[in-house]
A = this chain, B = another copy of it.
Amino acid sequence: MAGIRDVARLAGVSQATASRALSGKGSVSARAREAVAAAASELGFVMSYHASSLASGRSHNIGVVLPFVNRWYFATLLEGANSALMDAGYDLTLYDFQGDRYRESVLGDFLLRKRLDGVLAVSLQLNAHETEQILAAGIPVVGVGGPLPGIPTLRIDDVEVGRRATNHLISLGHSRVAHLGGEHELGRNFEISSGRRAGYEEAMAEAGLPLREAWSLISDYSANDAYKETKQLLADAEERPTAIFCASDEMAFGAILAARDLGLRIPEELSVIGVDGHEMGEILGLTTIDQFPRNQGTRAVERLLALVQDDGGAAGPADELMETRLVVRSSTSAPRIPAGHSGS
């Protein structure tokens, strides 16, 4: 295996110059640069990543920490982050908590091995100790879906999302609106679930509409669980809501399928709105609030790389709000309870 020494020798320059020529840092004459490039390609030289990292202190490697890689939102955000990192020539080291299964080992062991230039923490709720631990490692961190105290964070306004979704339903004439939200459990993406729920409750209150205990459901964000919850919710025709706001598109899929299986027509007998912007929403006609997760991933990487490269310089806003957009499709409409059903 050819080393940079060999390249330098073949190019007739010093090792120092060869290093500068290859990295592009420092000043090198055009002649030397070309000689080095020629020598490197002739020898098939590939720089040792480890040696380079050890000497320079930079690894060109970013860690991405997320709770699930197998949910649409996270996978799509990851894709965006991957793009941005590839384009910048960085490697992406993936840490998938898988719920909470690897939470401890990631936070306790993996992240601290000082091999990363930065960390992207997605939907991560850290306690004080964990935050301290990470910050103590001294590497830049950017969060998505926080806020994480002391860490610059990218997020959408979840309360606003909840309001907007709910208001969409209310403005169509619905008064019996249910909400299917995510888990409350702390340590998870608590803020997100509770934010959307708060927006729902605010919108209902503002419109003077009643909140019913039975219309406020909790699921694990999966379509299957949402299906079960929705089926229960809709079982009693008398107590049935005319619309349901789901905190994610995958949950909305479950809700739609549950309604169909009960023989309810959408949107005539039940309007459904989700959050995310899942592609499959197109073929289900799902009205949703698109949050452009891919975009969140690339933007988060931009922010993070700025921190990494500016070496702790100015950070931009501590809390950056990302755009969302209401996409109206055919799963929402004014309530049109068919004849034969009794209203409220």
Contacts and interface: CB of A to CB of B under 8 A. Distances in A.
A115 interface: yes
A326 interface: no
Interface string A89-129: 10111111010011001100110111100000000000000
Given A70-B75, A115-B49, A254 B227 contact: no
A216 interface: no
Residue of A49, A109, A279 ringed by the most chain B CB atoms within 10 A: A49
A328 interface: no
Given A79-B98, A253-B280, A50 B59 contact: yes
Interface string A272-305: 0000000110111000000000000000000000
A53 B48 CA distance: 10
Nearest to A227: B283
B224 A280 contact: yes
B94 A49 contact: no
A257 B279 contact: no
Nearest to A105: B86
A interface, size bucket: 35 or more
Residue of A75, A110, A222 ringed by the most chain B CB atoms within 10 A: A75
A35 to B, nearest CB: 22
Copies of this chain, tallied across the complex: 2
A308 to B, nearest CB: 16
Nearest to A48: B114
A69 interface: yes
A314 interface: no
Contacts of A258: 283
A332 interface: no
Contacts of A53: 50
Nearest to A112: B46
A47 interface: yes
A83 interface: yes
A4 interface: no
Contacts of A96: 78-79, 82
A193 B110 CA distance: 38
A30 interface: no
Contacts of A78: 69-70, 94, 96
Contacts of A61: 93
A113 B82 contact: no
Contacts of A49: 113-115
11 contacts: A48-B54, A48-B114, A49-B114, A49-B115, A50-B53, A78-B96, A79-B98, A82-B94, A89-B109, A92-B95, A224-B282
Q: Return the 8 tightest CB-CB contacts between A and B, nearest first.
A: A49-B115, A50-B54, A50-B53, A227-B283, A70-B75, A94-B94, A82-B96, A49-B113
Given A47-B113, A50-B53, A75-B75, 15 more contacts: A46-B112, A46-B114, A50-B59, A69-B78, A70-B79, A82-B98, A83-B98, A86-B110, A92-B93, A92-B94, A94-B94, A222-B279, A223-B280, A224-B280, A253-B280
